[in-house]
Amino acid sequence: MSHAYGVPDDEASIATLNRALDLGINFWDTADIYGSGKNEELISQVLKPNRDKIFIATKFGFVLGDNKLSAFNGSPAYLKKAVEASLKRLKTDVIDLYYAHRVDPDIPIEETVGAMADLVKEGKVKYIGLSEASPNSIRRAYKVHPIAALQSEYSLLTRDVEKEILPLCKELNITFVPFSPLVRGLITNRLNTAEIKEGDFRKNLPRYQPEHELNNKNLSEGFAAIAEGIGCTAAQLAIAWVLHQGHNIIPIPGTKRVKYLEENAGSVDVVLNKENLEALELLLKKYPDTGDRYNANNLKFVDRN
């Protein structure tokens, strides 16, 4: 709504937030870096008068200022300043779920999570989470304080978490929160990568470059055909597939438009059978040249320790 994807439209975004409440969608995800704080301020307009109806999650760590993911600070000192700023922008006394947006390689995860645990004791945060953390970091963090949620990218085209992360989340009773379940719009069969404009986050990501355009066009068209056969849209099928992977999974597709919100909400009614799942796997094998999800600059913030 405020960051990375085209021009913000606050009026449309507010309408979408209000419609989300009507639909019973009350788990909202933001971060202080989104629009350099502007997204938290935007959400506060609907959050404050409906505080008891919304479970709000936000994140800290990326250094504010240039609205780019250029530096990360997971220190306790930075955390204390960041949480106060987020509370103020959100116009709330408590954040339901507070994530470390990444794992700081220069700060022991125990220190970061220990400081986050202090926020729980102080009543400023109810639950704490991690984002894009490795299995080792998750286990180390969990020894300091229970981790309620782990957020990482997960979709039909991004499945790194399946080997270790998903089983670990089930083992430790951690809710898994997949971001970009729609592959940043690629799998909806509506995205023309050649028309992505400057300033759009996807412009510099490998998956959306010309060398992968034909493969991904064929893939998304085939995916849409499978969805049509099931009786749903491509977006609904993509989210339904993610939901199908476990009962501890809450995907967070992003949109600023009511029509896409309503479409996404319909994914919970899509039932997938063995034949559907096999057809999807065959399609993915047919068009494997999808491209990497991140470029080198983005990958350096993904915890691999």
| pLDDT (tens place) for every residue of the chain, 305 residues total | 876 666 778 999 999 999 999 999 999 999 999 888 999 999 999 999 999 999 999 999 988 665 556 688 999 999 999 999 999 999 999 999 999 999 999 999 999 999 999 999 999 999 999 999 999 999 999 999 999 999 999 999 899 999 999 999 999 999 999 998 998 777 775 666 666 677 666 667 777 777 778 888 899 999 999 999 999 999 999 999 999 999 999 999 989 899 999 999 999 999 999 999 999 999 999 987 676 766 555 555 665 77
The answer to whether the CB of 14 falls within 8 A of the CB of 45 is: yes
pLDDT at 208: 74
pLDDT at 299: 55
pLDDT at 183: 85
Judge whether 7 lies within some domain.
Answer: yes
The answer to whether the CB of 46 falls within 8 A of the CB of 21 is: yes
> How many independent structural domains does the chain possess?
1
Interaxial angle between packed helices 234-243 and 258-265, expressed in degrees from 0 to 180 and rounded to the nearest 10: 50
Judge whether 52 lies within some domain.
Answer: yes
CA distance 290 to 284: 9
Name the token pair of 35. Answer: 């629009």
Catalytically active residues are 34
Judge whether 205 lies within some domain.
Answer: no
**CB within 8 Å of 95: residues ≥ 6 apart:** 56, 57, 58, 83, 86, 87, 124, 125, 126
pLDDT at 122: 98
pLDDT at 212: 78
Judge whether 1 lies within some domain.
Answer: yes
Answer yes or no: pTM beyond 0.85. yes
CATH number of the domain where residue 76 is located: 3.20.20.100
Judge whether 28 lies within some domain.
Answer: yes
Judge whether 66 lies within some domain.
Answer: yes
CA gyration radius, the chain: 19
Residue 278 burial (CB < 10 Å; 0-12/13-18/19+)? Answer: exposed
pLDDT at 205: 73
CA distance 275 to 277: 5
CA angle 177, 183, 188 (to 5 degrees): 120
CA distance 242 to 183: 11
The answer to whether the CB of 149 falls within 8 A of the CB of 97 is: yes
Judge whether 13 lies within some domain.
Answer: yes
Residue 180's nearest CA partner among 259, 239, 224, 244 is: 239
Determine the structural domain holding residue 47 and report its residue range: 1-147
Judge whether 107 lies within some domain.
Answer: yes
